[in-house]
Amino acid sequence: MSVQTLLLSAALAVFGVIATIEISKTIHQKIRLRRDKAASAPHRGEESTWNELTEHHRPVRESTPDEFTAGPHERLLAICAPYSLCRRDPWDRLTCSDLDGTRTMLSLDWGVCSRTDLLSRVHWLITSGHRIGFEAERARWVDTSLAEAERHELRESAASSSDAAETLWRLERMRDNDRDIRNVDFSAWDLVRAAMLTRCGFALGWLTEEETWDTLAILDRGLRERYRSWTQVSESFRLARWYWNSTSGKDEHFNDLHDLNRSLVLLSPDGPWGLIDWDVETPEPSFLILDDLLDAGVATPLSAGDRKRATHWERWVDDQVIARGQHRPQHFGTHADQHHRFAKRA
């Protein structure tokens, strides 16, 4: 057998393994979605709640069916769609229907009252967000002895500390691998929220249209690296939000109903993620907001350890920070701590 034939056989075998893994992931996610749908389905007497949620999440679109095109801008706007549905905003436009409500939401839920605040929050979600802390919890609690010791400490303080109670909730969910949480990619939770903030920032005049599209393109690049379909994004976002909420009982059940309903609407044939093909091409981003982030001392290079753990996309972001920072005065410093949970309405 020739060397070329051996190489071809080896290549086909490798591609076959990769294809099998991707197909297996997709099948697993569909099974999990069906299982969670059954578990979270409305109980008897809750049909009216489900119907209200369906109406609440009914997609609003400014363009008529004849005018609508699933192009690059629509593909970028679709990233914001989970929040567009909840706020009754036209998901195919950058506009927000309630500017006062948007301004209040940003102030109360995110501490955002200015362009600088907005850029800071978007940058935090791009570079770390909640996924870093969640991944650290997952890595720590894999060690059963460490998890049990921390669980004992948390149980003593959970009655008097909501933070301890929520951490205990997450530890127990991770320990039991509830909803297969050990295998969830948390990235969508951060990147979809960053897209929502970007859209709101444009509506309030804190971002130019060019900056808005460019920032959405950065987020799109990150999502495409981590996922292969809107279904994968939907599952990641939904399960990460459940983990972040850290609640049980009636609140957990209602949140499950809400998030499952929203996911089904998003992925329906008339929903944003049903209408927009995953593979629609979008422009290459230029990171237009980076100069202001550098000037504010918000954007700083990753440490050697963080860069080693970073994804390819996160390293690309870091490369932009390093390259752009070399050609301007340095303002790297410690920005105000952004690692808080934000209000539960997020």
Pairwise pLDDT comparison (83 vs 28), residue with the higher score: 83
Pairwise pLDDT comparison (116 vs 335), residue with the higher score: 116
Give CA angle at 45 (43, 47), nearest 5°: 80
Q: Rounded to an integer, what distance in angstroms lies between the CA atom of residue 75 and that of residue 206?
A: 22
- Dump pLDDT digits (tens) for 87-108: 999 999 999 999 999 999 999 9
Place of tokens 């909803």: 179
Q: Rounded to an integer, what distance in angstroms lies between the CA atom of residue 167 and that of residue 158?
A: 9
Burial of 213 (0-12, 13-18, 19+ CB in 10 A): buried
Average pLDDT of 135-151?
A: 95
90 forms bridges with which residues in the sheet? 60
pLDDT of 198 > 50? The answer is: yes
CA distances from 112 to 33, 79, 102, 106, 310 (A): 34, 21, 11, 5, 27
Average pLDDT of 295-309?
A: 94
Long-range contacts of 27-33 (CB under 8 A, 24+ apart): 29/231, 29/232, 29/235, 30/231, 32/179, 32/180, 32/235, 33/231, 33/235, 33/263
Q: What is the mean pLDDT of the chain?
A: 88
The model's confidence at residue 248, banded by pLDDT at 50, 70 and 90, is confident
pLDDT of 330 > 50? The answer is: yes
The model's confidence at residue 65, banded by pLDDT at 50, 70 and 90, is confident
For residue 258, the model assigns a pLDDT of 97
pLDDT of 138 > 80? The answer is: yes
pLDDT of 224 > 50? The answer is: yes
Average pLDDT of 201-215?
A: 98
DSSP 303: P
Average pLDDT of 109-131?
A: 98
